[in-house]
Structure 1
């Protein structure tokens, strides 16, 4: 039986609920959502196909009952999964991607966005989606971050990752590695540092903000021998940020290969990296079950699991729900404090 992982400490019940999108139906999103029924009851609603969720629960050996969101108080836990029905799931087979399910996945996101904006839901938690399955020849789906910004008419957002120890931000997000260097600018770094500072004030109001800024090149460029971005872009950006954020301590550019060594990392409460895998690879290794993706700048709180769809594990009972359970805990704590 799965250990109760949802709360390490008591969190007061709040209304309204957190909206949880179940993600790609061929992946483990429905599986990990079903595990919510094995936990203590919390105000939460899963957005998805009730039949899919019921079938997946049987496949992975979870006993639960489904109630629709309009019928009773919206809770998940203690054998119950409250569901907001989303239509259009044409293929419910685990492990079998189907482009016809794209509208169903977008339907989950759109409904949750609307409920958060109107105040029916207090936060949005997203299970993983399959980017290629949501893309068309005319439009590429880059990820939740970009889609939520577009749908909520938010001009500027920042992808960040957080837990109770630190917050980490990215200067560039979902783009090919060969394009990273030319997309790192002084203005963009300053903007991301501002966002990191603001989110730090919200998540760690009683902690001094000390940010470590990673370099781009090996050994932070070795004073220009291995690249010049540290000298021409990153260092000037740090100075530009400090000119108006005098209460923040910033160190960098840091050598990327040493930033996440534990005794080095402990010096900082926030980290800013230059590109996706530079930050995500070590963070996931250090915090495999206690890390969430946070989209800073939206008109509502959005957090996500820190893993992908794991198509091969869908329906097998081998998916680890820890990241989702941690995301729910994280969202409820922040929503209550807000």
Structure 2
């Protein structure tokens, strides 16, 4: 079997993404081939700041020694000063994501790995942007589910980047059913779990306390779970979120579906932030992102932890191989 071909987009050029890519290039890979969609000068500057060797190779070349990196040039408009994000480079960041993803859609690459993006800077650059998950879903024209994972737990989200006051209205029967179908399918096909067991959290404290603390569990969540159980899915819930993540309970589940971003992700990040990755389920190709921000205050100093990027590449390569053999 040929090695999976992965496209890597570092993200915000003034953040830690470029230097993490330079660190990644120091170890030749045996599980995939990588091509970085970024500004070559920024990658070189990041490597120089860390005192690391870097040899930029043209698209189609092969990385053979430590420091080799294949780069599809995506030039920045403004000079990059690490630690100081410039809205003038927002378009280059978005273009790199679009181009890398398009190469996955057309089959040139087998998976996409993405670094941290600075949402405020992109919006300040005049581009309406809520998150890369949403951007990739629009480009591919499909429904997706955000799931974060580490060695302890997998947490998928029924809603993603929304103000808290908008969450209840965003949780509908149709939307919840789509989310659970995508999650269930990904557990079977991408992770090789024949009969996945999924814990579904309630929205309200104590999962609504039989309607005394909210009716979303009774009116929306429970009917969907009942209907999908009739079709063979193994779904527990709606469960109170404050006890669902106890280690003894997590051992019974392959994934947890949280109703909103900050219901499930703080637990996941506390249980293993450095090894966590962000997956977009439902795309025609595997997409895995780091589970941290741009860390502008650390950029160019050589102290950023590359563990999440290493884990993202390993996970994406594994998913791409699974998709190839499915």
Counterpart CA distance in 2 for 1:107 and 1:229 is 39
In the alignment, structure 1 residue 302 sits paired with structure 2 residue 290: no
Q: Tell me: CA distance 1:137–1:109, structure 2 relative to 1, closer, same or farther (3 Å).
A: closer
Counterpart CA distance in 2 for 1:77 and 1:258 is 49
Aligned twin of 2:59: 69
Deviates more, 1:106-115 or 1:192-201: 106-115
**2:36 alignment partner, one of 46, 50, 73:** 46
Q: Tell me: CA distance 1:274–1:325, structure 2 relative to 1, closer, same or farther (3 Å).
A: same
In the alignment, structure 1 residue 135 sits paired with structure 2 residue 120: no
SS in 2 for 1:235: helix
Aligned twin of 2:265: 280
> How many residues align structurally?
321
Counterpart CA distance in 2 for 1:138 and 1:103 is 9
Q: Tell me: CA distance 1:77–1:115, structure 2 relative to 1, closer, same or farther (3 Å).
A: farther
Aligned twin of 2:179: 192
Q: Tell me: CA distance 1:137–1:24, structure 2 relative to 1, closer, same or farther (3 Å).
A: closer
TM-score, normalised relative to structure 2: 0.92
CA deviation vs aligned residue, 1:269-311 (integer Å, no higher than 9, x gap): 0111100111111111112232221112222211111111111
CA deviation vs aligned residue, 1:43-77 (integer Å, no higher than 9, x gap): 1011111111111111123223222224x22x386
Aligned twin of 1:223: 210
TM-score, normalised relative to structure 1: 0.89
Answer yes or no: is the 8 Å Cα contact 2:152–2:272 preserved in 1. no
SS in 1 for 2:222: helix
Shift, 1:331, TM fit = 0.9
Shift, 1:123, TM fit = 0.5
Q: Tell me: CA distance 1:175–1:87, structure 2 relative to 1, closer, same or farther (3 Å).
A: same
In the alignment, structure 1 residue 239 sits paired with structure 2 residue 226: yes
Shift, 1:136, TM fit = 5.5
Aligned twin of 1:7: none
Counterpart CA distance in 1 for 2:219 and 2:128 is 32
Q: Tell me: CA distance 1:249–1:138, structure 2 relative to 1, closer, same or farther (3 Å).
A: same
Answer yes or no: is the 8 Å Cα contact 1:173–1:275 preserved in 2. yes
SS in 1 for 2:302: coil
Aligned twin of 2:13: 25
Aligned twin of 2:23: 35
Q: Tell me: CA distance 1:139–1:27, structure 2 relative to 1, closer, same or farther (3 Å).
A: closer
SS in 2 for 1:313: coil
Counterpart CA distance in 2 for 1:227 and 1:139 is 37
SS in 2 for 1:100: helix
Answer yes or no: is the 8 Å Cα contact 1:169–1:272 preserved in 2. yes
